[in-house]
């Protein structure tokens, strides 16, 4: 599939669906570089305004554990966000390929947690911290993809991070004793 956006970006193939849209591999035709494009369906002017308000603060935030935003806009029936392209895969895919060791998982989660604290200091919070919203780079770093959209409270902040870490370890077969539990506490919705 080759779709153009504003005669500047070319979408190649879908990488994975995210909470509100789909992440694509693409190319910036002006600057001749690979990019990721997050394409969301626009549901009217209200949706565009809400997006602009929630996106504004996040677009100014830079951190090595968050996708770097290069551009964003509205075109036709879509809202798009352009990110720097990264090597690697969505964490949800990588977990099932068993490419991570326990220490790598714990180290990556610890580093991501520190970066999430930096984001909170910049008033950026409430985003999903689950395997479907995290990218795993080839050098085993975790990066949050969408950090401007709100998520269910059990998927946010430390609860989302703990759940993500435990899920990674369980799927990798690291916590065999915990796996035998039918309803581990880690998967219950928490109230703070």
pLDDT one-digit tens code per residue, 36-79: 999 988 775 545 666 676 777 788 888 898 899 999 988 888 88
Domain ranges of the chain: 3-84, 89-187
CATH 1.10.287 fits 89-187, yes or no: no
The CATH class for the domain spanning 3-84 reads alpha beta
d(CA 116, CA 98): 25
pTM, two decimals, is 0.77
pLDDT one-digit tens code per residue, 74-133: 888 888 999 999 999 988 787 777 666 777 777 887 888 888 888 888 888 778 778 888
Which tokens in the block code for residue 1? 């599939």
Q: Could you write out the DSSP letters of every residue in 1-44?
A: --EEETTTEEEEEEEEE-SSEEEEEEEETTTTEEEEEEEEE--S
- In three-state secondary structure terms, 90 is strand
């Amino acid at each position: 599939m080759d779709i153009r956006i504003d005669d500047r970006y070319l979408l190649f193939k879908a990488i994975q669906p995210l909470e509100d849209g789909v992440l694509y591999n693409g190319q910036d035709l002006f600057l001749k570089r690979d990019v990721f494009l997050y394409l969301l369906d626009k549901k009217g002017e209200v949706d565009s305004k809400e997006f602009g308000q929630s996106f504004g603060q996040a677009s100014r935030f830079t951190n090595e554990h968050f996708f770097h935003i290069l551009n964003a806009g509205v075109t036709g029936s879509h809202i798009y966000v352009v990110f720097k392209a990264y090597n690697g895969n969505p964490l949800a895919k990588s977990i099932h390929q068993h490419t991570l060791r326990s220490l790598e998982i714990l180290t990556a989660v610890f580093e991501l947690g520190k970066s999430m604290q930096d984001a909170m200091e910049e008033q950026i919070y409430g985003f999903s911290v689950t395997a479907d919203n995290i990218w795993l780079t080839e050098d085993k770093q975790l990066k949050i993809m969408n950090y401007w959209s709100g998520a269910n409270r059990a998927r946010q902040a430390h609860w989302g991070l703990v759940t993500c870490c435990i899920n990674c370890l369980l799927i990798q077969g690291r916590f065999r004793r915990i796996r035998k539990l039918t309803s581990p506490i880690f998967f219950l919705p928490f109230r703070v």
